[in-house]
Chains A and B, each alone.
Chain A
Amino acid sequence: MDTPQITPEQALQYAPDDSSIKAAKKLAPAHQWQQLHLHLHSDGCFVLWGDISGSAIYNSSILLGEKFNFSCSCPSFKRPCKHGLALLMCYAQQSSAFLQGKDIPEWLQKQLAKHDASTAKKQEKAAAPAKVVDEAAQAKRIVAREKKVKAALNELQQWLNDVIRLGLGQAKNLAYSDFERVKQRLVDGQAAGLVSWIEDFQSALAHQDWQQRATQQLGKLQLILSAYQDLHRLDPKLQADVRSLVGWNTPQDQVLAQAQTTQTWMIMGSRELEGVNNLRYRRQWLWSLNSQQAALVLQFSVGFQPLPPAWPATQVFDAEVGWYDSAWPQRIAIKSQTPLSRLQALPNIGFDSIEFALQQQAQALAANPFLAIFAMLLKSVVPQQHNGQWFVIDTQHSALPLYIQGDVWPLLALSGGHPITVFGEWDGYVLTILSAWHQSEVISL
């Protein structure tokens, strides 16, 4: 059986904070560990374990299941602690230092027994017959929510009317608390999906080019409100888009029930963002090598719970997926998938020119005018700075402004002024680049 492949970047994604990364890096070299082992558990999951000397000898282990389960005998309250993180980093940097064997110490046997018992319990629960849904009560709940959402949206409309009456020149002077009140009302009215749109409007008012951006943002908000008011007149797929924007969730089971035939997906990159109520989420982008279209997987976590590690860009897997209803489908849920693998050579895929990509966006907006982000895979573009702003330029000299969360130099070094392939999210103003590649070199940004 192939041993798991983990990159140092993936390992670091489990860090609860920056100080843990710093501490773990010191403990990651193999010579810091008294012993390092890799054990294949009976359920098919690999377990990393090792002993490290601190104030005492600490036993650290990681069950490499669907979610990594860290355990350590040190007194730290952080999970993973620096030892767990260092153990994972050590494996990522030097997997050959881990001895493979069946014999495991007693402390690990106890941990695995506990894990097995918990898994068995979960399976038992899953196997139990599903609770009968009280459809009447459910319908009643939906009607009640509809009422609350409509009330919240009416208030939002009223607020927008006030804003436009006074003018954006006055809106620029609105206090932070004014926006907070509007957002809180949306959360209370179970229309939390619009909170991010209000935040965008707030940011637009503070932007250097605030006049254009705030006007644009106000128009987008009004478009959603108008659409929701006349929802029944829209195509059912567009209705689903509007409802989703407002905050109505589609149950994943419903999406998976419509899962289609298996396709090969290439991982394009990801972006982590914060939502309301301590929610964090990741937009993980994929590209179908069969249908040549982008797909989005959303991953969520609440509070201090870490998000699962992002998938490494340009690796591929086969998966059966279900598409969420939309006039321009983007979001998917994965029903089943094969392990990640690397391609021998990276494929020559993506939009040939920026002009073509913008035409595609126009088509997407014609189908779904509420589309906030359009995924762009551009081949043969060159990153370049012009008057303090970075751009990607295609072979026809068309350029789009780019943004990178972090350092732009790796992208520039990868290109060296030569065409490369980039993937990013285009929001109408800027292309946020998430990954780029040239020949066999790949960078995640």
Chain B
Amino acid sequence: MNAWQQLSVNALLGTQKSSAPIVWPSAELNQINQQLSAHHAPLLAQLALMSVYQRAGQQATKLTPQEPAQSDTKQAATIAQQQPLTYLLSHEGQEYLSVWLKLAAQQNVYFPYALLPNLLALGTQNKRWRLEIGAVAGTRGTWLATQNTEWSWLIGAQIDLHNELLNDYWHTTTTASRELIFERLRLQLPAQALVFLQQIWGEETAATRKTLLEKLLINLTPADHDFLEQCLDDRSKIVKEVAVDLLVRLPQSNLQQRMQHQLSLIVTLKKGLVLKSLVVDELQNVSESLERDGLNPKAADIRNGLGEKAQWLRDIVACVSLDWLSEQYQIPAQAFVTATLKTDWAEAILTGLATAAVRQTQADWLLALLEVDSKKLQLPRFLLFNALTNAAKETYLLGLLANTSKLNERASLLTPWLYQAQSWPWSTQFTIVVMDIYQQLLKQQQSSQLHYYLARCGDMSLAQQANQYPQQIVSAWQFRLSLKQAFA
């Protein structure tokens, strides 16, 4: 025990108790100690002396450094590219983050090191960022992911898909990492992805099977058909639902053909002199074959107000090809919808048609269904709208606006669509129309949220022209432009 340790023991016990003699480390200290014996509390004086001695003689611990991160082959971000990153990582700026990440990935730029933890934390919280993060995290990100298990998903976003060890990694990695590998394989090597999925299919939980199966939507081809058809026999309802959803997106899939056959048996077209009408011969029960194809024999979904037979009809309609439907009944989309509205089964058929239209992104059907009076039937209008192309969305909204010249009505017509639907980059013409409405509202000193959508989605190139637009919107456009210019 050295002098300091002995003093510590003496201090712990207190001077009331007998203390052990101290062996001083040097003659000088011993000499000073002798001078301290006259002190009213010698132990305190000894502690005072040794506290400085101890600190002045401090030694460092010896440790071996670990393996460092490999050097990045990507380029460092320039100051202009780095500048907006603190804002882009904040909750408010995240809507523009994707733009930065995509541009950086295109230009082979890595994310600044010091901000990487914030970016990885964002990816940990929200899966939607993970692939984009993987493209910019660089070797520093790979190294960090080995230091923090929460970030281990990054390995899946970065691993070389041609790596010999990929197969081993696929079998041993975490679910989060496996999801990312599968998504990347689907994008680049869809056939190999299917093989990988089949390898682990029997071992995974229903939730994981569902998540991975959903990703088959990426580059879905007839090559996936047989596997999906097998999935109809899956014991899990959620997996089966995804399999049905994917199969009906495959043109001429067996499921689609079975459903078309079933529909042709129960829905017929009655031709009058002028008009055509639909006759529905209701399905009385669900056969084992139909149950396998996703129909629920015990359907009792009260939420949307449909009875079981209506639900069966809806589910059958949702699975047929809309091209086949037009051909089979010899009437175009609009006429079919009109004919349907006259039947007692309008809600069931139209809801099924809406699902089919969204799955098959058939513009004529989407628009025909959007025309249905929303007061009569509650169709998923925003889902239908989202399935339209950007140009079609704008044409539809401009059409709505053309029906009224009253400023407040025009603003009220527009706002729900902008608020509820997924945002899209607006064309110049559409931006000018919305801007006109917003500026008129401003002149009348009426409040509006249109500026928010103008700033976020409006055509930013308008900021480069001479204009009289509100400054805050122009500033937001300039900010969006500056993001692009930083990578120009």
Contact = CB atoms under 8 A, between A and B. Distances in A.
Contact of B11 (A96, A218, A384): A218
Interface stretch (B86-94, B173-181, B346-354, B359-367): B86-94
Nearest to B117: A409
B60 A215 contact: no
A96 B14 contact: no
B16 A165 contact: yes
Interface string A347-380: 0000000110010011001100100000000000
A379 to B, nearest CB: 15
B147 interface: yes
Interface stretch (A30-38, A121-129, A180-188, A323-331): A30-38
B50 interface: yes
B191 interface: no
A416 B147 CA distance: 10
B271 interface: no
Contact of A384 (B66, B143, B447, B478): B66
Nearest to A214: B11
B165 interface: no
Nearest to A166: B14
A322 B444 CA distance: 61
B58 interface: yes
B426 to A, nearest CB: 15
A36 B471 contact: yes
Interface in B60-118: 60-69, 79, 84, 86-87, 90-93, 112-118
Interface string A193-236: 00000000000000000011011101110110010000000000
B112 A441 contact: yes
Interface string A92-135: 01101101000000000000000000000000000000000000
A391 B64 CA distance: 11
A417 B63 contact: no
A164 B7 contact: no
B43 A393 contact: no
B462 to A, nearest CB: 14
Contact of A165 (B14, B139, B471): B14
Contacts of A220: 48, 51
B20 interface: no
Contacts of B51: 215-216, 218-220, 223
Nearest to A29: B92
Interface stretch (A72-80, A248-256, A302-310, A397-405): A397-405
A386 interface: yes
A338 interface: no
Given A218-B47, A362-B57, A164 B14 contact: yes
A28 B92 contact: yes
A351 B475 CA distance: 46
Interface string A336-352: 00000000000000000
B9 to A, nearest CB: 9
B451 interface: yes
A222 B7 CA distance: 14
Contact of A362 (B56, B93, B143, B479): B56
Contact of A358 (B50, B60, B87): B60
B114 to A, nearest CB: 5
A418 B40 contact: no
Interface stretch (A60-68, A167-175, A290-298): A167-175
Interface residues of A, number: 75
B472 interface: yes
B38 to A, nearest CB: 12
Contacts of A29: 92-93, 455, 476
Report which residue of B52, B68, B147, B456 has the largest number of chain A beta carbons within 10 angstroms of its beta carbon.
Answer: B52
B479 A94 contact: yes
B12 interface: yes
A26 B8 CA distance: 55
Contacts of B45: 222, 226
Contacts of B66: 384, 417
Contact of B8 (A25, A212, A400): A212
Given A8-B87, A215-B47, A31 B455 contact: yes
A22 B49 CA distance: 51
B52 A369 contact: yes
B376 interface: no
Nearest to A408: B117
Contacts of A8: 86-87
Given A28-B92, A358-B59, A164 B114 contact: no
A216 B52 CA distance: 9
B13 A169 contact: yes
A348 B295 CA distance: 72
A414 B67 contact: no
B62 A31 contact: no
B17 interface: yes
Contacts of B56: 361-362, 365-366
Nearest to B36: A226
A137 interface: no
B475 A97 contact: yes
Contacts of A216: 51, 54-55
Contacts of A440: 79
Given A36-B472, A216-B54, A220-B51, A164 B144 contact: no
A369 B482 CA distance: 55
B1 to A, nearest CB: 13
A357 to B, nearest CB: 9
B278 interface: no
A165 to B, nearest CB: 5
A410 interface: yes
Contacts of B68: 382, 416-418
A276 interface: no
A398 B148 contact: no
Contact of B60 (A26, A53, A355, A418): A355
Contact of B16 (A166, A215, A385, A418): A166
Contacts of A438: 113
A399 B62 contact: yes
A168 B12 contact: yes
B14 A170 contact: yes
Contacts of A443: 114
B258 interface: no
A391 B118 CA distance: 22
A29 to B, nearest CB: 6
B275 interface: no
Which 10 A-B pairs rank lowest in CB-CB distance, beginning with the nearest?
Answer: A167-B14, A219-B51, A417-B68, A97-B475, A219-B47, A416-B69, A398-B60, A409-B117, A31-B455, A30-B475
25 contacts: A29-B455, A30-B476, A35-B472, A93-B93, A94-B87, A96-B478, A97-B472, A164-B15, A164-B41, A164-B44, A169-B12, A211-B8, A214-B11, A216-B51, A216-B54, A218-B11, A220-B48, A220-B51, A361-B58, A365-B55, A397-B63, A397-B64, A399-B62, A409-B144, A441-B113
Given A218-B51, A226-B39, A399-B60, 7 more contacts: A7-B86, A32-B472, A35-B471, A170-B14, A219-B47, A413-B117, A414-B113
